Amino acid sequence: MTFRTDVDLERSPAYHWTVTSVDVGPCTDPIGKEIMMLGEQIGEFTGQAISTRVLEDIGLGPRTEVTDHQVGTLCGVQVDITVTYVGTIRPGGTVAGTGTGFVVTASGQTATFTGTGVGRFTAPGHLAWRGALFYETTSDELSSLNGIAVLFEYEVADGKSEGRLSEWK
């Protein structure tokens, strides 16, 4: 569900604005119909980390590079995916991640992607990731990925991953 935030503002004598209350609820159009920002789910995968390296701290925080191999469906097609991403632990304990990867369909067609996201630790060795992917392909089977943003939700636990992808409308 997507949420909206209504903010009530009050102007002080010095013409500064002050937030006096915040109301959070579902996003709605002008006639009150709920608006969903996510489109349909377009992919689902399970995977396994096949490589992990600790990288030099370049002043941003501890960094790890992970390569993950995944299998599942994307746009209704069986696929294998390989992705390498770098996660940097930030102050406050979240993890900033960027990565690149490629997709191979059962018929040998391919797509490449880049992505960025944020992870949070849910338990020791467990991360919940949320972010966006951007694909490029000449594949007929995966051509619907061109020109759209794809949102991901991944759960990683002890080297195993599960993920879902949705089109962002």
Is residue 137 pLDDT above 50, yes or no?
yes
The verdict on 118 and 164 lying in the same domain is yes
Spell out the alpha helix ranges (H) of 17-148: none
Alpha carbons 97 and 78: distance in angstroms, whole number: 26
Specify whether 31 is located in the same domain as 50: no
Q: Do 77 and 16 share a domain, yes or no?
A: no
At 21-65, the pLDDT tens digits run: 444 445 555 666 655 556 789 999 999 999 999 999 999 999 999
Range of the domain at 31: 1-36
Q: What is the tally of structural domains in the chain? A: 2
pTM, rounded to two decimals = 0.77
**Same domain for 51 and 20:** no
65 and 140 fall within a common domain: yes
The answer to whether residue 72 scores a pLDDT higher than 70 is yes
Predicted pLDDT of residue 6: 46
Which burial class, exposed, middle or buried, applies to 135 when counting CB atoms under 10 A from its CB (0-12, 13-18, 19+)?
buried
Note whether 93 and 148 are same-domain residues.
yes
The two three-digit tokens of residue 30, written as one number: 């002008």
Q: Are residues 45 and 62 in the same domain?
A: yes
d(CA 142, CA 30): 35
